[in-house]
């Protein structure tokens, strides 16, 4: 007879790995730096702020260019 874990897929699904999460966040920071943001500013941002900034890459490029011009 099957056990509960074999029958219930919700209990046996894989968990998110911390290493993969760290890798994703590192890649997202690198993307922002490639768009022109200052590295010091990016390191101080929260993970949610980084995700929000990556939603609008053209705005990030424009803001970074304006910051470098002034």
- pTM tops 0.85, yes or no: no
Domain hosting 25: range is 17-69
Domain assignment present for residue 6? The answer is no
Element holding 60 (H helix, E strand): helix 57-69
- Per-residue pLDDT reduced to its tens digit, 9-20: 777 777 889 999
Domain assignment present for residue 28? The answer is yes
Residue 30 CA from chain centroid, whole number: 10
- Per-residue pLDDT reduced to its tens digit, 26-42: 999 999 999 999 999 99
Domain assignment present for residue 12? The answer is no
- Per-residue pLDDT reduced to its tens digit, 1-10: 567 767 777 7
For tokens 């002034």, what's the residue?
Answer: 70
Specify the 3-state DSSP secondary structure of 50. helix
60 Cβ contact list (under 8 Å, min separation 6): 32, 35, 36, 37, 53, 54
């Amino acid at each position: 007879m099957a056990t509960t874990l074999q029958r219930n897929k919700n209990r046996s699904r894989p968990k998110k790995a911390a290493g993969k999460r760290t890798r994703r966040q590192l890649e997202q920071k690198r993307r922002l730096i490639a768009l022109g943001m200052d590295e010091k500013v990016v390191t101080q941002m929260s993970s949610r702020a980084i995700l929000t900034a990556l939603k609008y890459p053209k705005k990030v490029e424009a803001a970074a260019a304006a910051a470098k011009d002034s």
